């Protein structure tokens, strides 16, 4: 069941979303050669605690992994797509890209967002991967309007990505969000005809998160049971925003 939020609930989600935005902004500024992904984790955990919020990811049980996640961030470097775990042993190097994904629960409502940040200068092709992935998210956000359908969002990502010679990850998808981190509907980054295609209505909130590979779409999970990587070793980028359907069009809750 897709849960539609009231105006008052959207305001609460806005507070959660803006906290996530501030966290990601600070972490993005921290990204540089020699910084470890655990440095980012420690900074994010402090910001969440200082705001009186609760981390959405830490303690989250995932059946496929068979355990609870131990961190407030997912930090995925280069060929890592999602769910990379922070570590003091993972230091960023010039030319890397790092996806930073986090969520919080504040006053009973969730916010969730992700960015992929270059470490210094990156190759022209890697820069194009980041640009196209971010563009696909912005184009999808424009489709979050009452009367449109879910396929309008999914298909927009897929068309922009593939027309630029990249591929969308199929195993991991976006989601509804509200009083739970993951709510209906699932939001693939491609048109999945096996999925339902609900009409978008005011009060729905969608966490849209293109995950785009420079090479083939195929993925595998490392032995740590969490980190998803590209099978061919190509780089992958990930951006995410929470977007509400309103009478005035799309409202991105996770940025000012």
Report the pLDDT averaged over residues 84-111.
98
Q: Is it the case that residue 57 has pLDDT exceeding 90?
A: yes
Q: How far apart are CA 154 and CA 146, in angstroms?
A: 15
**Domain residue spans of the chain:** 7-252
Whether 22 has a pLDDT exceeding 90, the answer reads yes
With bands split at pLDDT 50, 70 and 90, how would you rate the model's confidence at 195? confident
| Mean pLDDT on 6-12 | 98
Bridge partners (DSSP) of residue 68 are 61
CATH of 7-252, one of 3.90.550.10, 1.10.287.1120, 3.40.50.620, 3.90.230.10: 3.90.230.10
Check residue 225 and give its pLDDT: 97
pTM of the model: 0.97
CA angle, residues 177, 178, 182, in degrees to nearest 5: 40
Task: Give the confidence band of 138 by pLDDT, cuts at 50, 70, 90.
Answer: very high
Burial 114-146 (b: 16+ CB within 10 A, else e): bbbbbbeebeeebebbbebbbbbbebbbebbbb
- Are 208 and 141 within 8 A, CB to CB? yes
What is the share, in percent, of the chain residues with pLDDT greater than 70? 100
pLDDT score, position 180: 98
Per-residue tokens: 16: 């959660």
> Rounded to an integer, what distance in angstroms lies between the CA atom of residue 196 and that of residue 249?
22
Statement: residue 36 has pLDDT above 90: yes
Average pLDDT over residues 168-193: 97
Mean pLDDT of the residues in the chain: 98
Confidence band (pLDDT; 50, 70, 90) for 194? confident
Q: Which pLDDT does position 219 carry in this prediction?
A: 98
């Amino acid at each position: 069941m897709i849960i539609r939020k009231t105006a008052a609930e959207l305001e609460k989600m806005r507070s959660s979303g803006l906290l996530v935005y501030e966290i990601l902004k600070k972490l993005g500024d921290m990204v540089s050669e020699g910084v470890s992904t655990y440095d980012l984790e420690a900074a994010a955990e402090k910001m969440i605690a200082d705001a009186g919020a609760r981390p959405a990811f830490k303690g989250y049980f995932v059946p496929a992994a068979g355990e609870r996640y131990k961190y407030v961030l997912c930090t995925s470097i280069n060929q890592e797509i999602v769910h990379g775990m922070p570590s003091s042993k993972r230091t960023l190097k010039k030319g890397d890209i790092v996806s930073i994904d986090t969520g919080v629960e504040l006053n009973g409502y969730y916010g969730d967002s992700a960015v992929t940040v270059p470490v210094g200068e990156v190759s022209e092709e890697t820069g194009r991967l980041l640009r196209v992935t971010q563009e696909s998210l912005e184009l999808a956000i424009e489709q979050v309007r009452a009367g449109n359908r879910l396929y309008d969002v999914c298909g927009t990502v897929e068309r922009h990505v593939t027309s630029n010679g990249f591929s969308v990850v199929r195993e991991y998808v976006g989601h509804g969000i509200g009083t739970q981190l993951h709510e209906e509907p699932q939001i693939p980054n491609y048109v999945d005809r096996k999925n339902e295609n609900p009409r978008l209505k005011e009060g729905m909130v969608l966490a849209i998160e293109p995950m785009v590979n420079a090479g083939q779409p195929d993925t595998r999970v490392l032995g740590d049971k969490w980190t998803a990587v590209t099978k061919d070793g190509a780089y992958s980028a990930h951006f995410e925003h929470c977007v509400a359907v309103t009478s005035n069009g799309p409202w991105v809750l996770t940025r000012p």
